[in-house]
Structures are given as structure tokens and as C-alpha cells.
């Protein structure tokens, strides 16, 4: 049976897929294969949109996850999380501008902003995967329970 907490795993998978599509898109544009580049970037946009829908659904129904690590790892985690969230917020502006310039065939302007957008998008994707593994698999929050 599917429960809302399962979306955290769906989100991580969609996040990882977006990184794969972004890497492939970069590879194809460097090779000069504009058609495949476009397909990969549309795929990255699509899975990122699905991620956003899934993420917002998860957050609306379960709130924020708690981190179970202590000490220096806790500081590292929250620094990474803050950087990740800030980058994601910046992408909500950069991605539409980058896509708009490509759709309008303003490739000189597209190329300039796409480099920054791509680097940030990949960094946000990878940091999201790291945050997921740290919070869900490596340092999950465990409540103190009395065992009889």
C-alpha cells in the first residue's frame, strides 16, 4: 500500500533522473547534437516538474523531516540543506529564463545563462540526493521510545 511517506523515495528518484538527463543534455550539446540535447533538457524539465508536484504534495501532507545526526555532521547537513534550498529557489527564476531564450531561438543569450543554470541545477540535484540519503538512510530521526 502506498503511503505519503513513500513520496520521499519517489522525489529522490526523480531528482536523480533529472541529473542524468542534465548530464546527457550537456554531453549532446558539446557533441553538437542539438536534437538530442533538446530531448534531454525537455526530459530534465519534465521529471523536475513531476518532482516539484510530488515534493509539494509530500510537504503539504507530512511537513519537514527531522534529521537524526548530532555534532559536526548536523552542522554539515543543515549547511548543505540551506545551500540546496537557496539554489533550488534561484532555479525557479533561472530555468524559465533559460528555457524562454531557447524557445525564442535567442541562442547567444541562452548559452550565457544556460551554463550557470546547468551548473546550479546539477549541484542542486546532487545535493538533494545527498540530503535524502543523509536524512532518510544514514541519520534518520528516531524518537525516544520506552521498551518494556
> What does the block give as the cell for 11?
522525489
CA distance 120 to 145: 41
The yes-or-no verdict on residue 122 having pLDDT over 50 is yes
**Considering the domain boundaries, does residue 114 fall inside one?**
yes
What's the confidence (pLDDT) of residue 144? 64
Q: What is the CATH number of the domain that holds 90?
A: 1.20.120.80
Q: Who contacts 100 (Cβ-Cβ below 8 Å, separation ≥6)? A: none
Q: What pLDDT does residue 145 have?
A: 47
**pLDDT tens figures, 27-41:** 999 999 999 999 999
Q: Which domain holds residue 54?
A: 4-138
Residue 146 lies in a domain: no
For 12, 82, 133, 134, the CA distances from 5, given in Å and listed in that order, are 12, 22, 15, 16
pTM of the complete model: 0.93
Structural domains of the chain, count: 1
Q: What is the pLDDT of residues 83-111, one digit of tens each?
A: 999 999 999 999 999 999 999 999 999 99
The predicted model gives 110-115 an average pLDDT of: 97
Amino acid at each position: 500500500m502506498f503511503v505519503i511517506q513513500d513520496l520521499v523515495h519517489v522525489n529522490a528518484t526523480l531528482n536523480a533522473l533529472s541529473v542524468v538527463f542534465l548530464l546527457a543534455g550537456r554531453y549532446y550539446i558539446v557533441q553538437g547534437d542539438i536534437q538530442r540535447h533538446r530531448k534531454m533538457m525537455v526530459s530534465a524539465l519534465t521529471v523536475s516538474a513531476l518532482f516539484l508536484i510530488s515534493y509539494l504534495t509530500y510537504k503539504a501532507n507530512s511537513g519537514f523531516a527531522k534529521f537524526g545526526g548530532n555534532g559536526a555532521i548536523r552542522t554539515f547537513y543543515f549547511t548543505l540543506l540551506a545551500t540546496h534550498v537557496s539554489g533550488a529557489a534561484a532555479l525557479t527564476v533561472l530555468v524559465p529564463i533559460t528555457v524562454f531564450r531557447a524557445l525564442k531561438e535567442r541562442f547567444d543569450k541562452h548559452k550565457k545563462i544556460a551554463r550557470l543554470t546547468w551548473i546550479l541545477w546539477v549541484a542542486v540535484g546532487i545535493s538533494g540526493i545527498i540530503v535524502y540519503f543523509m536524512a532518510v538512510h544514514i541519520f534518520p530521526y528516531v524518537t525516544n521510545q520506552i521498551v518494556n
